[in-house]
């Protein structure tokens, strides 16, 4: 047993100290894109990178796997329609630690198809995931500067872009306005360029509170009857509103209805209350009652 343990430890030391070839998957990003040229990659946006590293580093890679990004220099596309990785091994090796030597990339050649280039201005759509302090929330329109950016690329790709989202803006225990610079997300479309590449995003945050108002009920699809009487004739709506807008919204800014078509089709005994109009940045909490009784005179 001692001999087996000693042999295993000796083998392990040799294995982790010796250099071996290891293959990882890597995403592709492009630099030095030729001007006035729009292109389509004719292969996947991931490649296999073969590199020499010690057994210990291979063990760590397997323990903590990741997908690195490899930058590809496209300056050679000015005179041809393909890029050979073998000619860029020095540039690629500078993107990895010095003790990780890249020996080859598969596929070794990237092919591109050129097409007409076009420009288009598209709006910026902010994306955020915010967690607020108690009794705080968004109280107004999110502002973006600039609101529009210029997208340049192949005609068929640019035509399908109606807007560009920002990277997700995150925050916890937020209790004040959020102002930040957010970079625009290409959604892995490496053959387009964006100018500018970021926008300043402002999300207005403020204190909110509950408010209760009474709203008269309106009957829809009741014209064929002599009269329709609802019991009660009003409902109480509880909602969250910012302190600065507390006195701004009244019953006139809301609309609550009951639809007689539900009774005609399903012969229900009570009608559900539907809130069809609510002011912006008011969050509904409850409607009381949610269902009402009614009398119909034909």
Q: What is the pLDDT of residues 146-191, one digit of tens each?
A: 999 999 888 878 888 899 999 999 999 999 999 999 999 887 777 7
Token output for 213 = 């108002």
Q: What is the pLDDT of residues 226-269, one digit of tens each?
A: 778 888 989 999 999 999 999 999 999 999 998 888 777 777 78
Q: What is the pLDDT of residues 208-231, one digit of tens each?
A: 999 999 999 988 887 777 778 888
pLDDT value at 15 more than 60: no
Q: What is the mean pLDDT of residues 60-69?
A: 75
Which residues fall within 8 angstroms of residue 97, CB to CB, at 6 or more apart?
none
Instruction: Check the CA dihedral 223-225-226-227 and report its sign.
Output: negative
**pLDDT, the chain, mean:** 85
Q: What is the mean pLDDT of residues 279-290?
A: 92
């Amino acid at each position: 047993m001692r001999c087996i343990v000693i042999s295993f430890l000796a083998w392990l030391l040799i294995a982790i100290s010796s250099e071996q070839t290891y293959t990882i998957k890597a995403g592709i990003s492009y630099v030095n894109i030729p001007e006035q040229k729009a292109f389509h990659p004719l292969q996947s946006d991931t490649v296999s990178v073969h590199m020499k590293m010690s057994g210990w580093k291979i063990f760590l890679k397997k323990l903590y796997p990741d997908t690195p990004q490899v930058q590809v220099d496209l300056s050679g596309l000015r005179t041809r329609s393909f890029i050979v990785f073998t000619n860029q091994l020095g540039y690629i090796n500078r993107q990895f630690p010095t003790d990780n030597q890249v020996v080859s990339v598969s596929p070794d050649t990237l092919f591109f198809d050129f097409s007409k280039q076009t420009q288009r201005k598209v709006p910026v759509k902010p994306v955020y995931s915010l967690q607020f302090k108690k009794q705080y929330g968004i109280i107004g329109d999110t502002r973006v500067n600039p609101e529009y950016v210029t997208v340049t690329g192949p005609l068929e790709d640019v035509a399908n872009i109606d807007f560009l989202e920002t990277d997700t803006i995150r925050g916890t225990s937020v209790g004040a306005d959020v102002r930040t610079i957010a970079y625009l997300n290409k959604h892995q479309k490496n053959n387009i360029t964006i100018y500018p590449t970021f926008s300043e995003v402002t999300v207005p945050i403020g204190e909110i509170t509950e408010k209760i108002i009474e709203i008269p009920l309106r009957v829809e699809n009741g014209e064929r009857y002599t009269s329709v009487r609802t019991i009660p004739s009003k409902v109480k709506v509880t909602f969250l509103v910012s302190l600065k807008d507390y006195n701004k919204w009244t019953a006139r800014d809301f609309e609550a209805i009951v639809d007689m078509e539900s009774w005609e089709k399903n012969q229900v005994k009570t009608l559900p209350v539907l809130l069809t109009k609510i002011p912006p940045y008011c969050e509904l909490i409850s409607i009381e009652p949610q269902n009402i009784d009614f009398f119909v005179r034909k």
